[in-house]
Structure 1
Amino acid sequence: MSLKGKSAVVTGSTSGIGLGIARALAGAGADIMLNGFGDAGEIEQIRAGLETEFVVKAAFSGVDLTKGDQAKKLVTDAEAAFGKVDILVNNAGIQTVAPVDEFPEDRWELIVALNLSSNFYTTKAALPGMKQRGWGRIINIASAHGLVASPYKAAYVAAKHGVVGFTKVVALETAEQGITCNAICPGFVKTPLVEGQIGEQAKANNMTEEQVVREVILASQPTKKFVEVDDLGALSVFLAGDHAGSITGAALQVDGGWVAR
């Protein structure tokens, strides 16, 4: 499936799921605007590596997505670099775990700002150009927690439920304009962040890392396997292509059967 001639913005794409999706889109021929935090030298290596490996244009914008004007600037930066934004992938997110009555209020505000509000601002900025061209693809990376809840994750669950609802509204508003908007709802993915949690849980609970993976991290996933980043990238490429033109407003589960329970 070719995305040659298309340009994509992927938020939170300097590592983990976002980088995997950016690589998949670049592999299909799309120019890529990267975004995220990290070491400037490492980010430049990633950016240059995409251009060399996939023969596409790649740029980077380090805007702070928790601020609405900065989130909108990410889209205008991409338009300045590539002339347009055809594909928008809202992936950036963070997590904090605590009971509701002990949940740090500053973390609530930060999680909602990054995981939910940034999707609104980037989408608002990208839609006018998509409407003018009569084509666009918006992919919001939600979570299985956008469909079901777990204790101690109030802000994350609330934000991800909001992402799924927002996805449906955008899909309905753009249904006749050649634009689709869908949410991908992954289960647990073995990212560097999750790998760190495995070791911490093993020490805290006097368990082996294998026990933590099966009995704690993947307790909700019937397959007892992590979701692969490459699977999310492949699904993103499909949703970004012409063959997915009739898929819109969907919350697509990639969760090892978690939500089937």
Structure 2
Amino acid sequence: MNTIMTPAGLAEVPGPSRSLEGRVAIVTGSTSGIGLGIAEALAIRGASVVLNGFGPTDEIAATCRRLAEIHDVPVRHDRADMAQPAEITALMERTARAFGPCDILVNNAGIQHVAQIEDFPPDKWEAILAINLSAAFHTMRAALPRMKARRFGRIVNVASAHGLVASPFKSAYVAAKHGLVGLTKVAALEAAENGVTCNAVCPGYVWTPLVADQVAQQATAHGLSEEEVVRRVFLAEQPTRRFATVDEVAGTVAFLCSRAAASITGIALPVDGGWTTH
């Protein structure tokens, strides 16, 4: 039995079993950060995994080799641009040819820009909506027919606490994430009788490269140090006063992909240290 090491005095708890053996998972935006953590959590459980995203070719190849060797699962990388519907369709078809139809779809790709509405560049607005919202529509549109036909599917959309509440200077991101939560609910209703679930997870602040960039941008915009921005802006509304971890988000996604979550669909699950409880 797999076990997780625990502090002295605490009992060992079971580690993840290979409960997703034989399943094919696509995780968009998964060459780093939360997406990579999710991909690894699914690989640990035995799923074949398709990584997606950009980055140095040699680093991505090394990541694929590491996941495949450590977890003994097939892993491949696809550079499909999530802003391009035709490339999304091609990603789904390439996956089907290489591994079989997609059983688990995690829409994680996302970008961010911070500015007041009147100063928000229209091209940034369009790009954020394309990648953070429309891409999920296109992946789901491609995946759902086969999921329904096989009467199994797990779709998890990585939204955000900003899919439930708003913050200033993030008009496009908040609009896209609210839209993603709504899209999740519609898909859940449409697929409920076909063995397919669709849920959203809504992380608060998780320390990733995306958040690090936001910290730097807001420090510049407000004339504060990065430490002050973290304390006064990012974690001010997060009761735990700490960033969530990638492993916490990834573990939540993996649970929603499990058999145990077969009756959970259409939810927007905060992983936010209590932020949206206010």
Note if contact 2:215-2:226 (Cα within 8 Å) is conserved in structure 1: no
Shift of 1:52: 0.5
Q: CA RMSD in A?
A: 1.4
1:85 matches 2:121: no
Q: Following the alignment from structure 1 to structure 2, what is the Cα–Cα distance between the partners of residues 45 and 90?
A: 23
Residue 199 of structure 1 deviates from its aligned partner by 5.3
Farther-moved stretch of structure 1 (196-205 vs 98-107): 196-205
2 CA distance for matches of 1:86 and 1:197?
33
State how far apart, in whole Å, the 1-side matches of 2:171 and 2:179 are.
Answer: 12
Of 114, 118, 138, the residue aligned with 2:155 is: 138
- 1:110 and 1:198, CA in 2 relative to 1: closer, same or farther beyond 3 A? closer
The alpha-carbon deviation at position 30 of structure 1 amounts to 0.5
Q: Which residue of 1 aligns with 2:14?
A: none
Q: Which residue of 2 aligns with 1:147?
A: 164
TM-score normalised to the size of structure 2? Answer: 0.90
Corresponding residue pairs, total: 260
**Residue type of the alignment partner of 1:228:** T
Matched, 1:228 2:241: no
Q: What SS is found at the alignment partner of 2:76?
A: strand
Residue 191 of structure 1: how far off its partner (Å): 0.5
Further displaced range: 33-42 or 214-223: 214-223
Deviations 1:167-208 (A, max 9, x none): 000000011000000000000000023234445655763536
TM-score of the aligned structures, taking structure 1 as reference length:
0.96
Structure 1 residue aligned with 2:260: 243
Match of 1:66 among 55, 63, 83: 83
**Alignment gaps of 5+ in structure 1:** none
**Structure 1: how far apart are the matches of 2:43 and 2:118?**
44
Where in structure 2 are the equivalents of 1:29-48 lying within 5 Å?
29-48=46-65
Counterpart CA distance in 2 for 1:241 and 1:206 is: 43
Q: Deviations over 1:125-146 (max 9, x none)?
A: 0111111111000000000000
- In structure 2, distance between residues paired with 1:198 and 1:36: 22
Indicate the SS of the match to 1:139.
Answer: strand
Runs of 4+ with >6 A deviation: none
Q: 102-111 or 68-77: which moved more?
A: 68-77
Instruction: Letter of the 1:217 partner, please give it.
Output: F
Q: Which residue of 2 aligns with 1:22?
A: 39
Question: SS of the residue aligned with 2:139?
Answer: helix
Percent of residue pairs bearing the same amino acid type: 55
Could you say which residue in structure 1 is the equivalent of 2:5?
none
- In 1, Cα distance between the equivalents of 2:233 and 2:218? 8
User: Are positions 1:162 and 2:179 aligned together?
Assistant: yes
> Quick check: 1:205 aligned with 2:223?
yes
Tell which has more relative contact order, 1 or 2 (C-alpha 8 A, sep 6+).
1
**Distance in 2 separating the partners of 1:200 and 1:249:** 34
Which ranges of structure 2 fall in alignment gaps of 5 or more residues?
1-16
